[in-house]
A and B are shown apart, each in its own frame.
Chain A
Amino acid sequence: MTDKSDLPLIIEEPAETILLKPSKGWISLNLKDLWRFRELAFFLTWRDIKVRYKQTILGAAWAIIQPLLQMVVFTFLFNRIGQISTGDVPEELFSFAALLPWNLFQKALQDASRSLVSNRSMITKVYFPRMLVPFSTVLSGIVDFAIGFVILMLMMAYFGFPLTTAIWSVPLFLTMALITALGVGLWLSAINLHYRDVGYFLPFLTQLWMFITPIAYPLSEVTETLLGGSTQYLYLFYLNPMVAVVEGFRSTLLGTPFPGWDVIGIGVGMSIFILISGLFYFRRMERTFADMV
């Protein structure tokens, strides 16, 4: 044996015995391993952020250009042609404030769903909790959001919308968007390994999802125009957690009508449900990942 002083860097965790055996049925989430590999999660997120705009001319400017162009299109389509009223809020600001959390969600969902397949070389060669892969892709979108958020602040200043103390709730709505994206991403990334159909289904899913989310129109429009004032089916609409996220986010910053605690409550419940079901499904499928890719 070598003198310990030669090896100052061995992390002196007591040698732990791991039992490798076939796992059966629904298995635990193994949070202990997730914690132990937290640094890897950080590095993977950091990698995704670093390489996101490599080999582009405009670089991180895309984080601004993309939502701005979307904003122009949305305003034109929905508010000019579609004649949807956005109340006291300027139309541009109205859709831009919704596009920010929506884009964060959409990007997170798409990246997470593809994450396992695109990291398959790692999955077949080295052990780590596979959950870190979709998890870190979801987090990497925050940088884009932060850049867009600065633009939103500037726009608000321009249009004369003051910041209120309600801004504290912004991180909560973001967390909700990310939790939902991660939950769906966990499901889809695991399925994607077996069935690449997910790749074709995904653009369709996000597009559809965007239309049922009140981005260019206010939530009140749904009640009035679509359901003719009846609230019977409105709760179905609320099952989409992004309704609460977008409406809540906008209301906090721009003072549009608060969506109501029932909307927030249903949204939070759904997002947590999606996340937990995704976590367990992912863990269940995890054992076959290295054999499938």
Chain B
Amino acid sequence: MSEYSIQVENIGKRYRIGVESNDSPTLRDALTNLGRLPKKLLRGELRLPKEYIWALRDISFNVKKGQVLGIIGGNGAGKSTLLKLLSRVTEPTEGFAKVTGRVGALLEVGTGFHPELSGRENIYLNGAVLGMKRKEIITKFDEIVDFSGVGKFIDTPVKRYSSGMYLRLAFSVAAHLEPDILVVDEVLAVGDAEFQRKCLGKMNEVAQQGRTVLFVSHDMSAILRLTEEAIVLEKGKVTFRDITSKAVDHYMASGYSQSGERIWRPDEVPATAAPFKPLALRILNEQGIVNNNMRSSEPINVEFEYELSEALQGLRLGIYLLTSRGEFVFTSFDTDSQQNYEKFGMRNEGKYMSRCQIPADLLNEGQFILGVNASSYRVKRYFHDDHTLSFSVDGSGAPGKQWAESRLGPIRPDLNWQIKEF
């Protein structure tokens, strides 16, 4: 027997997009089309003309038995399509995959739930939809109810459940599915923190039982916690595969502006941002050169240009600094100082630049991400983007660099150590 649970060879999936142009403009054309209809239906041909898009192309990878593999990638990278292919929801257009063992797919929580049915009835229905046997559901029934915590409402129609209860019940059924291969999509994006914690715990448990798990999430910390290895999907291709921490770094560093500058085109700014309009965010080194490679031993200048189409009261411009894992390092606003706070309580319409300096000898080496925020405290958040651009920090010349080891933590500040002998 093969040591692999999943073997994917050059798999590709093509979707048809766009709308049919020129669809029966005249009655005569419509009738001609009608005449061709039987033939088209039989061949399974759809309306012409067609435009296609490859959601996935030339994907090859293997997953060992018992391995927990993360899949990361931006929106539209093909993650969900890949999961759909592997869980047999849809067929590949080319290539093939070999899947050994029972596949349990959690592409959505509560698939097949019917609002008119009670919690009890939905457990049976949903369990069957997910591929559980009736006997299996009967034996696990109490466990499922316990885990969900809906208890005494089990005979109430689920349409009367709160959305939280609904989710908990739905996940609980899915969590008790015991497949050889568990395929999990972004199910954790929904629900409160408590629910998410519970889900992660359960998935961890599944992973510990030696089952194969494929896990897709935007939550990098969840990916890091649950998976040992991850693949990065970009534009329908596997661009990277390595241990999870490296894959996450690769993913977080790619896709963002590489030049040290981000300029917003007018059409990129959501209408909800008005009257605020971001123009550009850039980072400059000590020499004033826009760059995305910074040195830890030099200060980093951050400039944010923006425009106000009308005067704003209490506006504050901020930057976020995040590590490549998505953890916040700090948040800072241009009116943090008492002086600025008083002077810029009101900003008239016009173009502005807010600039600041991240001091030298603060950041550790590695990848960082800069985000921006424009808001009026407790009034409105005009604009927000916590992944605006990424930059790397080179540690040479930083305190302690005489030792080649890497240091833990996102910062390595110069703490002005004093050593005295007494």
Residue of B nearest to A54 (CB): B116
Shortest CB distance A198–B (Å): 11
Determine if A43 and B125 form an interchain contact, defined as CB atoms under 8 angstroms apart: yes
B residues engaging A (CB < 8 A)? 1-2, 11, 15-16, 41-42, 44, 46, 66, 84-103, 105, 107-108, 111-112, 114, 116-117, 121, 124-125, 128-131, 133-136, 139-140, 178, 180, 208-210
Determine if B111 and A122 form an interchain contact, defined as CB atoms under 8 angstroms apart: yes
Determine if B128 and A43 form an interchain contact, defined as CB atoms under 8 angstroms apart: yes
B210 CB contacts on chain A under 8 angstroms: 1-2
Shortest CB distance B393–A (Å): 43
Shortest CB distance B126–A (Å): 9
A1-B210, A43-B124, A290-B89 given as contacts; is B97 within 8 A of A20 (CB)? yes
B178 CB contacts on chain A under 8 angstroms: 7, 9-10
Determine if B101 and A194 form an interchain contact, defined as CB atoms under 8 angstroms apart: no
Contact of A127 among B11, B44, B87, B140 (CB under 8 A): B87
A112-141 interface code vs B (CB 8 A; 1 in, 0 out): 000000000111111110000000000000
Contact of A55 among B66, B86, B116 (CB under 8 A): B116
Contact of B100 among A6, A16, A125, A128 (CB under 8 A): A16
Shortest CB distance B48–A (Å): 13
Contact of A7 among B11, B124, B130, B209 (CB under 8 A): B209
A185 to B180 alpha-carbon distance, docked (Å): 35
Determine if B98 and A18 form an interchain contact, defined as CB atoms under 8 angstroms apart: yes
- Of the candidates A46, A121, A125, the one having the most CB atoms from chain B within 10 angstroms of its own CB is A125
Shortest CB distance B377–A (Å): 41
**Interface segment out of the listed A175-183, A246-254, A280-288:** A280-288
Determine if B92 and A47 form an interchain contact, defined as CB atoms under 8 angstroms apart: no
Determine if A128 and B91 form an interchain contact, defined as CB atoms under 8 angstroms apart: no
A69 to B232 alpha-carbon distance, docked (Å): 64
Determine if B114 and A17 form an interchain contact, defined as CB atoms under 8 angstroms apart: no
A22 CB contacts on chain B under 8 angstroms: 91-94, 96
A287 CB contacts on chain B under 8 angstroms: 90-91
Q: Is A88 an interface residue (CB 8 A)?
A: no
Shortest CB distance B67–A (Å): 13
Further contacts, 8 of them, CB under 8 A, given A20-B97, A126-B112, A126-B130: A1-B210, A6-B209, A18-B98, A121-B111, A125-B105, A194-B46, A290-B84, A291-B90
A17 CB contacts on chain B under 8 angstroms: 2, 98-100
A290 CB contacts on chain B under 8 angstroms: 84, 89-90
Shortest CB distance A126–B (Å): 5
Determine if B125 and A126 form an interchain contact, defined as CB atoms under 8 angstroms apart: no
Shortest CB distance A172–B (Å): 30
A37 to B84 alpha-carbon distance, docked (Å): 19
Determine if B107 and A19 form an interchain contact, defined as CB atoms under 8 angstroms apart: no
A47-65 interface code vs B (CB 8 A; 1 in, 0 out): 1001100110000000000
A211 to B88 alpha-carbon distance, docked (Å): 43
Q: Is A191 an interface residue (CB 8 A)?
A: yes
A1-26 interface code vs B (CB 8 A; 1 in, 0 out): 11000111111010111111111000
Determine if A18 and B88 form an interchain contact, defined as CB atoms under 8 angstroms apart: yes
